[in-house]
Each structure stands twice: as structure tokens, then as C-alpha cells.
Amino acid sequence: MFNLMKTAILMAAITALFMAIGSVLGGRLGLMLALVMALGMNFFSYWFSDKLVLKMYNAQEVDESSAPQFYGMVRELAQRARLPMPKVYLINEDAPNAFATGRNPEHAAVAATTGILRVLSERELRGVMAHELAHVRHRDILISTVSATMAGAISMLANFAMFFGGRNSEGRSTNPIVGILVMLLAPLAASLIQMAISRAREFEADRGGAEISGEPQALASALQKIERIAKGIPMEAAERHPETAQMMIVNPLSAGGLRGLFSTHPSTEERVEKLIAMAPAGR
């Protein structure tokens, strides 16, 4: 219920951003058109955003015959978590990372890059996939998927404000500086909304993933290894669609500029500390 409330708050906040940008672009008419657009985007995001995100990453669905070890690992962890079996996808990317998506546990999917399968041990990979299944169990996959889709739409609409300028309530052109400010501040506001929602849920998914896999130290080791290796391997799909970065287990974006300042992920060091504290004494 709490995550459903957070989803509703997210959709309301994004809708308000759409309306504000629409007002700048076209006055009252722009505001009303933006409201209609936001409602349509909310509907689309709820039902189809998971498919859109998987398509962005060119994720390919696998099964027991095409990826027996990986698929079997996810199935075993889903059983431990008492979850329905999600769809399983692989992404042909060297950068190690993974994410979960879908609107609920009955319509969930987990995806991992081919790079993460190569660089992690079996124990570490189990920890990562257990983390993703914890997102499914906590029912926060809808929040992350909707926020990714809507943040991208906000950025697109803000670009219109830059290139086409704005209109006041009488339909007259406004100061072009207003359009520039909207272009800069609207995506930033969307990022702040994502950040506020995303950081807390990563800690909860780490905790849940450690419980599902039974090995918090393995997940801690995986997080350290992913961050270290990912720094030297750009994740091209994430760079093209930065609004989806908050879905990943570790931030896949370069840390320069505002991307580093407004990261949607808590620091890996803090996450590792919390996981190590969960490990039984003597292990």
C-alpha cells in the first residue's frame, strides 16, 4: 500500500511538472494540453513502460534452454522469495549491471548484462539477482519504471520550451530566457523526484536481497566489483537514456557534473557497510 501511495505521489508530481512546462509553452491552452499529455503518459507508463525500457536496452528474453544456469538461478531465488517466476532477459553489454521492471510481481521481469555474468562469481551473481527480486517483492519496480519513462518525457517537453519559446496566458511570446530556464530546471526537478524515491529503495532492496540469497557479503562484494569495473566501461544504452539509470543496481553513468551531484543511488561504500553489518559473526 505504501509503494502504491508513492507511485501516486510520483505521478502527481510529474503531472504538475508537465502542466508547468505546458503553461510556459502555451499559456492556458498549453497547460490543458500538457495535462492531457500527462494523463496519457501516466496510463502508458503503467501498462507499457516496462516493455519500453527493455526495448531501449535491446534486452532479449531467455529461458531454460537458451540460458539454463542463469534462468535456473533466477527460478531458485524466486522460489526462495515466494514470488512468481519473472521473465528473464539478457542485455548484450560489456558493462556489468542489472535491473528489474514491471508493474507488479505477476508481471515482472529481471534483466542482466552479459558483462555481469562474465565478471561476477556465482555467489555474487546470486546476490545481485536476489537484490532485483527484492525490488519485485517490495513492489517498487513500478515506481522506478514509471519515473524513468516520465523523466524522459519531461526532458523532451523541456527541449520544446527551449527551441520554440513560451507563451503567456494571452498567447504572446515570453522572454526566451524563461524557455532556457525551463529546459535546465525541469529535467533537474524530475531527477530530484527520482533521487528522493530511488535512494531509500536501494537500501531496502540490498537488505531484502541479502535475506533472499542468505549471503549479504556476496552482494557487498558484487557491488564493489560492479562499481570498479563499470567505471572503465561505459554503458551505451544508459548514456543514451540517462533517465533509466536509477533502475540499475549500480549507477551506470559517468559521474561528471550534475549527474554525479544528483545521483539516484546511495554511495556503494555506505551500501557495503550496511550489508557487512548484516553478515553473521565469524563469516
By annotation, the residues acting in catalysis are 132
Question: CA 189 to CA 161: how far, in whole Å?
Answer: 15
Whether residue 129 contacts residue 74, with contact meaning beta carbons closer than 8 Å, is answered with: yes
Question: CA 257 to CA 157: how far, in whole Å?
Answer: 22
CB atoms within 10 A of CB 198: 23
Whether residue 112 contacts residue 70, with contact meaning beta carbons closer than 8 Å, is answered with: yes
Give the β-pairing of 87-91 and 108-113.
parallel
